[in-house]
A and B are shown apart, each in its own frame.
Chain A
Amino acid sequence: AQKVTQAQTEISVVEKEDVTLDCVYETRDTTYYLFWYKQPPSGELVFLIRRNSFDEQNEISGRYSWNFQKSTSSFNFTITASQVVDSAVYFCALSSAGGYQKVTFGTGTKLQVIP
């Protein structure tokens, strides 16, 4: 069975601070995908990134960066110089690479950026 753990339920930071959201996963698959989604108060899940299990290169996209470490089964997400618009619930998710994509989500981390 697959499992995603986001131990941080809620985080509050002051605007312009950096913040890291933790994600730890469990899977027996040798090939899998990891995802991060953002859910603002409007409710729609917004896709942020997909990472393949065979690609451990870290990725940076603007103020966002992701650190994938297969050895510790972690896929952490860092927001640099946080902004109020970053306030949302962030979900880490996992799926098998073969067949259809039954995605297993974590319980989410609510990020509040205070002006």
Chain B
Amino acid sequence: DTGVSQDPRHKITKRGQNVTFRCDPISEHNRLYWYRQTLGQGPEFLTYFQNEAQLEKSRLLSDRFSAERPKGSFSTLEIQRTEQGDSAMYLCASSLVQVQETQYFGPGTRLLVL
């Protein structure tokens, strides 16, 4: 399978704990996106990387959130001091920079903060 993969698929944590999610994009894709999806809503953009550079962050991304893509391949999304409001599905997508760009999504990491 050469699609976008995410790990873990599910995470349950207690409020105040830190969590980290990983995304492995399609191998030749140089753009990587993170989205958050809450119940009954569509995905909302959080941030995006082109290669290793983080070029845009949504105002949804509070100071407790940090994302990295150190070598321009996989990416991590860390949430510090989790809150119950952070409970959501975190989706990663990747794409290839070209005239007609299409993002391909991973299966997501479902986070539940107790």
Contact = CB atoms under 8 A, between A and B. Distances in A.
A9 to B, nearest CB: 8
Contact of A105 (B31, B44, B50, B110): B44
Interface in A63-95: 91, 93
A109 to B, nearest CB: 10
Interface string A25-49: 0000000010101000011111100
Interface in B49-102: 50, 55-56, 89, 91, 93, 95, 100-102
6 contacts: A35-B102, A43-B108, A100-B31, A103-B43, A108-B40, A108-B41
For chain B, give the interface size range: 20 to 34
Interface of B: 31, 33, 40-45, 48, 50, 55-56, 89, 91, 93, 95, 100-108, 110
Which DSSP category, helix, strand, loop or mixed, fits chain B's interface?
Answer: strand
A20 interface: no
B107 A105 contact: no
A107 B40 CA distance: 7
Contacts of A52: 100
